[in-house]
A and B are shown apart, each in its own frame.
Chain A
Amino acid sequence: MVDANELLSLDDLQAAGNIRTGRQHVLSILVENKPGVLTRVSGLFTRRGFNIDTLSVGPTDDERISRITLTLDGSSQPIDQLTKQLHKLINVLKIKDLDPAETVARELALFKVSVDAQTRSEIRELAEVFRGKVVDVGKRSIIVEVTGDRSKIEAFERLVRPYGLVEMIRTGSVAIARGREET
């Protein structure tokens, strides 16, 4: 007979899955460096109705393997379902959902700002405060390179916009886990 201690209350069972976490997620994905892998990954997002905020792809120290870094909004989509779908792609080797507190994430942005003789130095000063670099100076414009997390890039954008932001080019995030552990 069933031991009373063995019995389990169905009411106590908690469902898991498809939880909206409500925060930004950074997924670091190792994939085989083969033709069409990026299409497979991005196609999966479209097909399953997921939205990518940013995406960047680059080589790793192993030429057979590339890394894709994705940022996504966990308030509007179930991250666990998404990672499970990604895992089904044969060329996906490893997925890590990086904990923001344990992660260093950086974006790079290039700002082309229109300047005149007077505002040129103001932009230079701003760049300095943001530890940005002036990478090109023209008569009527200046290009500043800023590296940092998303909020820093967005703060710089707000500051230079009133001067006349000609254009801005941003990369997606790249991220690495803090400490000894591999990403």
Chain B
Amino acid sequence: MRAVDAIMECLKAEGVDVVFGYPGGANLPTYDAFVDADIHHVLVRHEAGAGHAAQGYAKTTGKVGVAFGTSGPGATNLVTPIMDAMMDSVPVVFFTGQVRTELLGTDGFQEADTIGITMPAVKHSFLITDPRELPRTIHEAFHIARTGRPGPVVIDLPMDLSKVDIAYEPVTDVHLPGYQPRTVGNAKQIKQAARALAAARRPMIYAGGGVVLANASDALRELVREGGFPITQTLMGLGAYPAPDPQFLGMLGMHGTRAANYAMDEADLICAIGARFDDRVTGKLSEFAPRAKFIHIDVDPAEISKNIPAHIPIVGDAAQILPRLTEEYRALGADASRMDEWWQRIHAWQARHPLTYEPGENGEIKPQQVIETLYRITGGDAIICSDVGQHQMWAAQYYHYPEPRRWINSGGLGTMGFGLPAAIGAQIGDPERTTVVVSGDGSIQMNIQELATIRQENIPVKVVVLNNGYLGMVRQWQELFWQERYSHVDMGTFGGEEAFPDFVKLADAYGIRGIRLTESGSFEDDLRAAIEAEGPAFIDVRVTRDEKVYPMIAPGEAARNMVG
């Protein structure tokens, strides 16, 4: 069969039922194979949309996402999702077309050195030079993408090779001598960690996206409840431990709760699980958790002691390690009352510094109110796909995620334009669940063309834009740290007749119901009607223009100096 038909066989063997892509010259053979392949191919409107949709699908389902693009600009348009998947450890296999072998290196039409351009952004990549290797390479790519610390893998396929007739035989084994991720976790270290937890008087569990990726939520819940420990989660970890919950102190970091940040600051032992001490979490590194010893559990050994030296490192899969840690801890029979004073201190912070905001005046809708209302309407049961900016932080603070894989956002790379295409992947991955894009008037315009994809796929994604007419987060920083010298943050999207674009008309033009909400009084009913109506909707919510995200650890500051 043709090499491209073998691609389809490999995809089926990997259990792929949906892919996201965009055809072009160099991948014409592949697209010819799609005609008879019986694989659901979602035609996006920009390759970045394909990549982010594949990420949204992967994040929602835990399966490997797949994206296709052509050579040259098709591939370079995929660079942002590739880097995004790298930063957030999302398993996605990217197939890029490449010019004919004889044109490689000649600056041929639509030629780009895809392998070279993407090298620093991939977990691994393959340039196909022998079409007979294609099936094995595809299975290796899936294996690499999904195991260990997941990540993006690129397969670059020159056009001439994709048409070659090869003898396809199913590949059942993958052998990569240089790739053997450790999963089990050292038994002695686990025992040591249990003893440290039992000795700690002010322990904190600090869980990240790795728990979600490892499908270790249940194991995490058991550990936290068994020990009666306070827990905080990173932006990427939200939902791993259910919220709201008396033991959950909220998110930590730059826009985390005071209780979570103060508790990290005063903890004597921090147990990090699938988290990487990102600068948005630690603030000023030298003043981060100065009294704490660290247990660090991660499947990627390079994360351990990268930013914060670990006292008890445990390399392995959280889903395997946490149950054993819980068991070891239980066997010690530690007395939970040693943490009584600690909990009192935490409760005092929680009482003194709840997440809060001033209600809007004169019928104005507050952005935080939008998220709170959305939480009430959906009962916390929706998948929230966020873009990047203020709305993202509010959606992390005011929507409480009861389960993992319900909060889909771009954390590490912070890619504006991620949310809408990610929601396409999420909705297709979990078709029955209400899927809502929470975006801003800036972010939504970065991939707004994907409204056409929603229309074409006829999926009921709801888009909620917190429209303040500003690049709100940039504006917030200019206000707070650049002496209110506002530079290029007014988007023109706020206002009456003169607002542009008119999102309602724009949505209508795509054949999607457009709704504008401006009144606080009827807001909850209006939003409920918009969310509960069948089919997709685009909801332009006019919110307080100069609202800021608080509390906040100013850049380079220590957690204890939070403001707002």
Q: Among A7-15, A127-135, A150-158, which stretch is in contact with chain B?
A: A7-15
Chain B 288-328, CB-CB to A under 8 Å as 1, else 0, gives 00000110000011101110011111000000000000000
CB B140 to nearest CB in A, in angstroms, measures 9
B132 within 8 A of A: no
Which residues of A lie under 8 Å from residue B176 when comparing CB positions? Answer: 90
- Closest B residue to A82 by beta carbon equals B302
> What are 11 contact pairs spanning A and B, CB under 8 A?
A2-B332, A6-B195, A10-B199, A15-B293, A15-B309, A16-B309, A18-B306, A39-B119, A43-B119, A90-B176, A93-B177
On whether the beta carbons of B335 and A90 are closer than 8 Å, the reply is no
Specify which chain B residues have a CB less than 8 angstroms from the CB of A2 in the assembled complex.
198, 332-335
Q: Are A84 and B301 in contact (CB under 8 A)?
A: yes
Measured CA separation A8–B189 after assembly (Å): 13
B309: chain A residues within 8 A (beta carbon): 15-18
A81 within 8 A of B: yes
Q: Which of B116, B192, B268, B304 has most A Cβ within 10 Å?
A: B304
User: Of all chain B residues, which has the CB nearest A32?
Assistant: B178
A36 within 8 A of B: yes
Instruction: Report B146-173 CB contacts with A as 1/0, cut-off 8 Å.
Output: 0000000000000000000000000000
A47 to B305, CA, bound (A): 18
Of B302, B304, B333, the residue contacting A1 (CB under 8 A) is B333
Q: Give the Cβ gap from A89 to chain B, nearest Cβ, in Å.
A: 7
**Does chain B have a CB within 8 A of A179?**
no
Known interface pairs A2-B334, A8-B196, A90-B124; A40-B305 also in contact (CB < 8 Å): no
Beyond A16-B310, A80-B305, A88-B300, list 13 extra A-B contacts (CB 8 Å).
A2-B198, A2-B332, A10-B268, A13-B311, A13-B312, A15-B294, A16-B305, A17-B313, A32-B177, A36-B115, A39-B119, A81-B305, A89-B178
The digit string for B333-349, where 1 denotes a CB below 8 A from any CB of A, is: 11100000000000000
With A and B bound together, what is the CA distance between A102 and B372 in angstroms? 65
- Cβ of A85 < 8 Å from any Cβ of B? yes
**Assembled-state Cα–Cα distance A163/B372 (Å):** 81
Q: Which residue of chain A has the shortest Cβ distance to B333 in the bound complex? A: A1
User: In whole Å, how far is A7's beta carbon from the nearest beta carbon of chain B?
Assistant: 5
Chain B residues contacting A18 (CB-CB under 8 Å) are 305-306, 309
A35 at the interface (CB under 8 A from B): yes
Docked complex Cα distance between A7 and B334 (Å): 10
With an 8 A cutoff between CB atoms, is B144 at the interface? Answer: yes
A109, CB-defined interface residue at 8 Å: no
A84, B300: Cα distance in complex, Å:
9
* Known contacts A1-B335, A2-B334, A43-B119, A90 near B195 by CB under 8 Å: no
B124 / chain A contacts, CB cutoff of 8 Å: 90
Bound-complex Cα distance A16 to B311 (A): 6
B216 within 8 A of A: no
CB neighbours of B269 from chain A (8 A): 10
Closest to A17 in B: B305
